[in-house]
Copies of this chain bind each other. A is one copy, B any other.
């Protein structure tokens, strides 16, 4: 708990405590009974729904179709791809009994669905005409977590997982990059998180993938958050599950597959990218309520301002603005202001008796230098959508400045150490997994990605001094 019942520990004092207190006090989540599980409360779930809508629309617009595959996967399926089973084994939850009996073969609660979808793809694909096969699933998955953090690492989480099959590497790689672009766009345009896109080094690849790409955001403690990944699987899963097609030339060929996922983890990213010591700061495009109207006044005056607030809310909703009237008369205006600052509503409108008289309303942004401002009641529905758009853009700009201000190009180990203590280091690296492990052991930093847009550069590894790999600098940072 923080200093008092309402407040949260300041970020500078203990970022981790700030986060843990905030997700509970803002009523986003609660702890579930089974280890590492979370209950997503309505305010938190609405954030997820709004993100889902944006992502689902883009997934469909790019030709993918949603489907649903079973939760319970026979254990033997996971064993068919050696790297895959090795990567996931320690995290599996296993159903051994069902219908009052012990099962002949245990069933795994899906940690991800490559295997069961691979099995079905093999059944559905026969000709090149069936390709590309572009599927997506919205689902819950379970990965047993020893050190859970709400949204960031939970035993069960919600996500979408895209799974596609293609005739060849070129087409599968186009898909892999398309999914990555789509994630970067949603992160930037919806969540206002300016992510870096890039490829993972071999040591950070998905279990069973040939290449893994990622979007990485910087949180306000300088750490990185991997907020979505896209994998080119080559023919690894096609071999394991016999996903083949007859080509135009009549040859039987192996498919090339991809998978890509974005999860409820993204909500943790929003919290840690924008939040401050007063609480959440939500980008308008993800905010359950974009505008909170607080009517002020007691007795007859309270009745009048409440009625005016509801009337205004009706006009704002008609203009497409998600609006909530907080007329909890038993709570002081100040308490209600603080409550919605804690819960991150982008805009607050205060409506008191004197505002009513003058036909105005006081507008306060959750963040920024603009202070309070009085605007005409009558034109609020025309003004506010623009103010929300500006606020959305402001958050992205602010996060970009923060990230750029905490990203340092370094060529010595000392400056590397200093950089990753509070942000990211752009460094040359030899590409040797042992050297990566050394860096992690020394300063807890890992290669987040080899950025797609990095300028060509070569030289010596920042730690071991061997020749650099990758032809460009690597983003290093501590990470969630």
- Residues of A in contact with B (beta carbons under 8 Å apart): 30, 32-35, 37-42, 45-46, 48-49, 65-74, 77, 89-100, 106-107, 109, 116, 119-120, 123-124, 129, 135, 139-140, 142, 144, 146, 155-156, 158, 330
Tell me the complex Cα distance, A121–B210, Å.
Answer: 46
Q: List 20 A-B contacts (CB under 8 A).
A: A33-B73, A34-B107, A37-B71, A39-B67, A39-B70, A45-B67, A46-B65, A46-B66, A48-B68, A72-B156, A91-B99, A93-B97, A93-B98, A94-B97, A94-B98, A95-B95, A95-B96, A98-B144, A99-B144, A109-B109
A34 proximity list for chain B (CB < 8 A): 70, 72-74, 107
Contact of B69 with A32 in the complex, beta carbons under 8 Å = yes
* A90 (CB) vs chain B CBs: closest residue: B100
Q: Are B30 and A70 in contact (CB under 8 A)?
A: no
Question: Mostly helix, strand, loop or mixed at chain A's interface?
Answer: mixed
- Which 6 pairs between the two chains have the least Cβ-Cβ distance? A99-B144, A42-B65, A32-B70, A37-B70, A40-B68, A93-B98
Query: What is the CA–CA distance of A58 and B69 in the complex, to the nearest angstrom?
Result: 27
Q: Report the separation of the CA atoms of residues A99 and B147 in the bound assembly, to the nearest whole angstrom.
A: 12
With A65-B46, A144-B98 as given contacts, are A70 and B156 in contact (CB-CB < 8 Å)? yes
CB < 8 Å neighbour of A33 from B32, B77, B89, B96: B77
The CA of A33 and the CA of B135, in the complex, are separated in Å by 19
A364 to B: closest C-beta gap in Å: 26
Contact of A98 among B38, B92, B135 (CB under 8 A): B92
Q: Is the CB of A158 within 8 A of B90?
A: no
Which residues of chain B have C-beta atoms less than 8 A from A65's C-beta?
42, 45-46
A33 and B123 CA atoms in complex are apart in Å by: 12
Give the residues in chain B near A73, CB-CB below 8 Å.
Answer: 33-34
User: A34-B73, A71-B140, A100-B144 are known contacts; what are 6 more A-B pairs with Cβ within 8 Å?
Assistant: A48-B68, A70-B156, A92-B98, A93-B99, A94-B95, A95-B95
**Cβ distance A157 to chain B, nearest Cβ, rounded Å:** 10
Q: Give the complex CA separation of A49 and B129 in angstroms.
A: 26
A41 to B70 CA separation, bound complex (whole angstroms): 11
A119 to B31, CA, bound (A): 11
Q: Within the complex, which residue of B38, B67, B330 is in contact with A42, where a contact is CB–CB below 8 Å?
A: B67
- Chain B residue contacts of A146, Cβ below 8 A: 99
Shortest Cβ distance from A28 into chain B, in angstroms? 11
- Nearest chain B residue, comparing its CB with the CB of A49: B66
State the CA gap A91–B35 with chains docked (Å): 24
Query: Among the interface residues A77, A109, A129, which one has the most CB atoms of the partner chain B within 10 A?
Result: A109
